[in-house]
Structure 1
């Protein structure tokens, strides 16, 4: 076991995953290259969560969310470890909210930001690329928690391994679309890094997510940002920007799965 700044690598045989100490009270994992090609059900089992209750949607870079139990009902309770993406019609969604004990929510990423949200009664997994960030997927999911009566001071958020601001080159047009999602009055300059090419900038998505969460009332001490960059750490993470799709090479996409579950017993305040 090794770690830095509250982020700890866990290893067990051929398995390796990253955990955030802020979410120590919830079974969770941020995946890496060494966790491939395992699927959410197998990863859930590693976290001592029921594999048949691992839920994920078909990600489309949007801002729609779904309930984990509704996905599980749709697939008839079958274990995801034996189901490919085409085994049944997964609903389009870039966030999954779990509200039943032992259910778990999962997303996959390969430069986009995996966000895990924890509270005493609900948890969620969010996939946030630039399009989802611009559409406000994180504030939208947090509003579901808050409108259900879950206090902001009982919500913890971990922003997992993703392409970092200094490495994430985008057009100025894309950056402007994303920056429009910042709360009114927030200084946008910390989200931007210079780029040597005309018409390009570097964009820090996780900085924007933190600002969005704080605008929803989440205390800064309950927001953790991983120091890991998927683009700069080829030994640890898949990166679409660095490698492209590996489908033609190995018959599958190079992604890391991240997920979180509700423990079997109700939690006290985190």
Structure 2
């Protein structure tokens, strides 16, 4: 089970020069992998989506959303027609994507990869991405062959063990477990994520340490639960990095819970710079 020292370890994300994107710094330095997570700053959307909203599915002006994506594409030097996004149904399906998928979900929602919350590829010309506003972003990298993945883990995806499902997608490509690193990104923390008993009933008893009870409410730590599932799936603890950022505590992020459902979406992304 997850130890507290994992939460207090060195933060894996470093704010970029434009102060709008957090990058996984050691992946960029060691492996030439560009992976990161946006803040809510630096875009064109208006309140309550101000300003760097990436979600077409909220009530923001689609033209603003597209412009925000274009701003990021320029900053990353990765054109939108190389991006791939899924429709994110809070499930645990993980899909392998290739060149034929480029552009899906990039310009509009209705052509995104269907019924999917995780994407994996070994194509250096593709950027895979997912949207977040409290749910847990999981970034995966196989260090030698530079296969990479991103998964969206809300509570439903987490109890459905999308972390292990993504690891299995690597193993299906004959990638050894010891080659896989995982970064657990900014998301709501266990002090902020109050849930009902109906949610807790879906958490196996073996993971009882990831939640606490206060009167009739429960507080669930999704980062800890995903960490525990990664360990159980065979990932070495030294290969798991956990962000300290809480999207509900920190006003530089959108938060579905804090903002009472009326808010934008951050984007998590990963691509190779060996383009």
On whether the aligned pair clears a TM of 0.5, the verdict is yes
Runs of 4+ in structure 1 over 4 Å off: 38-42
Is 1:20 aligned to residue 24 of structure 2?
yes
Aligned to 2:253: 237
Q: Could you report, residue by residue, the CA deviation over 1:135-154 in whole angstroms, capped at 9, with x for unpaired residues?
A: 11110111010121111111
Structure 1 runs not aligned, ≥5 long? 181-185, 247-252, 266-270
Give how far 1:73 is off: 5.2
Number of the residue aligned with 2:47: none
Alignment of 1:58-97 (within 5 A): 58-69=87-98, 72=101, 75=104, 80=106, 83-86=107-110, 88=111, 90-97=113-120
Q: Which aligned pairs between 1:42-191 and structure 2 lie closer than 5 A?
A: 42-69=71-98, 72=101, 75=104, 80=106, 83-86=107-110, 88=111, 90-119=113-142, 120-179=145-204, 186=206, 188-191=207-210
Distance 1:214 1:176, change over 3 A: same
RMSD: 2.4
Q: Distance in 2 between matches of 1:28 and 1:208?
A: 22
Give the drift of 1:173: 2.6
Does the 8 Å CA contact 2:99/2:123 hold for their aligned counterparts? no
Q: How many residues align?
A: 240
| Alpha-carbon distance between aligned partners in 1 of 2:127 and 2:71, rounded to the nearest angstrom | 12
- Unaligned stretches of 5+ residues in structure 2: 1-8, 43-51, 55-67
Contact 1:61/1:129 (CA < 8 Å) preserved in 2?
yes
- TM-score normalised according to structure 2 size: 0.79
Distance 1:44 1:124, change over 3 A: farther
The match for 2:238 is 221
Query: Are 2:272 and 1:255 aligned?
Result: no
Q: Kindly state the Cα deviation for residue 71 of structure 1 after the two structures are TM-superposed.
A: 6.5
Take 2:210 and 2:53, find their aligned partners in 1: how far apart are those partners?
33
